[in-house]
Amino acid sequence: MPAAEDRGRLTAPEAAAAVALLDAWAAPVLALSSDEAASAAFVRRLERLLRASPAPSRLGVRALLLAIEFVPDVRSPRRFSTLPGPQRSRRANGWRRRLAAPMRALGALLLLAYYDDGAVAGSVGYDRGRAVGRAHALRAAGGRW
């Protein structure tokens, strides 16, 4: 049984698949795969979310990331993270169509980890402090949030 702090740690192939999939779906201004520091920060946030997840969910996410990275496509037997951007996007979008529920869940988790970065969230106009302040005010007033 892995130690508690290691249970959400991604292997290199899992992390590579997560970064490549986020690049394909979220299309950040600067591709994470070309920015090592941003990529590592994203992976740390994803690992934090996985550590907080139940074991079956954690295993499912990791298995899906490994399948994405290593299962070859007839048109290109290369690993997913090594594909050029357009080819990676086509393959990711194909999976999104064929495996809608698992890919939607994985995509939501990846986007949650990506937008958990204050700078990224701020780039789309989200102010975490303002949102938390509004929630506290509504709760204090007895309203719904």
Query: What is the token pair recorded at 64?
Result: 């899906």
Band the pLDDT of 33: cuts 50, 70, 90: low
Other Cβ atoms within 10 Å of 33 Cβ, number? 19
Average pLDDT rounded to a whole number, residues 84-90: 87
Residue 96 near residue 64 (C-beta atoms within 8 A): no
Band the pLDDT of 14: cuts 50, 70, 90: very high
More confident residue, 31 or 38: 38
pTM for this prediction:
0.75
The number of CA neighbours under 13 Å toward the Cβ of 40 is 3
Band the pLDDT of 29: cuts 50, 70, 90: low
Domain ranges of the chain: 12-140
Q: Is 76 helix (H, G, I), strand (E, B) or coil?
A: strand
pLDDT at position 119, please?
A: 66
- Bridge partners, residue 73, by sequence: 76
**Angle formed by the axes of helices 55-70 and 100-115, nearest 10°:** 100
